[in-house]
Structure formats: structure tokens, C-alpha cells
Amino acid sequence: MIGVLALQGGYEAHARAIARAGGEACEVRTAEELQAVDGLIIPGGESTTMLKLLDRENLFEPLRAFGNAKPVFGTCAGAILLAREVSNPKQNSLGLVDIAVERNAYGRQLDSRVTSIEGENLGAMEAVFIRAPIIRRAGAGVKVIASYNGDPVLVEQGRHLVATFHPELSSDNLVHKYFLDKVAAQ
């Protein structure tokens, strides 16, 4: 069972994408619900708001502990929450993946677009960027699966997966299938 963190942002589309990819998804809002899932998706939205809600619901530490044992897939704001380091502005994060991200880094004019990217062993996929962060540094343990304009946009480190775009808005479901495989391999 895949949990989708459902405090804020695009969680419903992730649950539908997991179903299209052949998996089962449920919404997670409490530490008890988190205990019941095999992998977790942190959706896009507004990372600052999500951080506040994680704090209010006392979910920050349970999430970090979950990530120390089970796979987490963060997209866009979720990628920002998973990163080790966040800039523009600096903010707290779970630090589960050794990347440094800069928020809203594509600037005003290019801030939302749909493009095609090539994933290693995944082939061509559609990538929808919405006020996306840029991964400015990826540590030695981080594997880049796909890049756009020379910057990594889909990376993994061990059991965790990070996308700076929104794979839940694409019809190909490739990235969600990939995450389901990672969870099954645990």
C-alpha cells in the first residue's frame, strides 16, 4: 500500500496515478496512518505551508523516521522537503536525500511548462514543471535518472526517489511504476 501525504497540494492526482500504474494508494494525515503504508509520496504544493502543517500535526519526526526505513517519493514541493539543503529562501527539510535545491529557480517567465525528457532505462516521458526547484548539487550517493537543460530533474538515492516536476499529471505513469517497483524491491 502506497500512502500519499494529504496535508496540502496535489495528493489526489498522485493517488490516481498510483492506481493507473497498477498499485493501491491511500491518503496519510497521521502518524498512525503512516505506520500502515509500505512507501510514501510527498506531493507538490507549497513546501513552506506543508512544513507548517507537518509541525502542527506533529508529523515531521515520524516522517523522518519513516524515511529512515521505507521508500519516500517527493515531487516538486515534496522534493524540497526531502532535500538536505534548501535555498531561496533557506528552510528546514527532512534531509533524507543528499541534494541541495533552490526553490522557484526557473524564474517568472519559465516557471511552468510541459516538456519531454529522457529517463535512463525509462525512455521518453512527459515532464510538467510548475514553479519547480532546481537541484543545484547532488551528492555522490545520488543517481541522476533524467535531466532537463543540464540539471537533474529525476534522481534517486537508495530507496528514495525525487522529481522536481509533476509525474502525476502525465498520462505515461512511468515514474509511478518505477516507484512501485522500488517499494516492491524493499
- Selected binder of ligand GLN within 58, 68, 92, 104 (CB under 6 A): 104
**Angle, vertex CA 183, rays to CA 132 and CA 178, nearest 5:** 55
Q: How far is CA 82 from CA 24, 70, 71, 115, 182, in A?
A: 23, 13, 11, 24, 17
**Member of 47, 93, 157, 173 binding ligand GLN (CB under 6 A):** 47
* DSSP summary character for residue 70: S
- Residues of span 142-161 touching ligand GLN by CB under 6 A: none
Cα 181 to chain centroid, rounded: 16
Q: Which has the closest alpha carbon to 166: 158, 176, 156?
A: 176
What number of chain residues touch ligand GLN (CB under 6 A)? 11
Whether 168 is catalytic is yes
Asked whether position 131 contacts ligand GLN by CB under 6 A, the answer is yes
User: Of the two residues 157 and 164, which places its CB atom closer to ligand GLN in the complex?
Assistant: 164
Least Å distance, CB 170 to ligand GLN, is 14
Residue 26 annotated to the active site: no
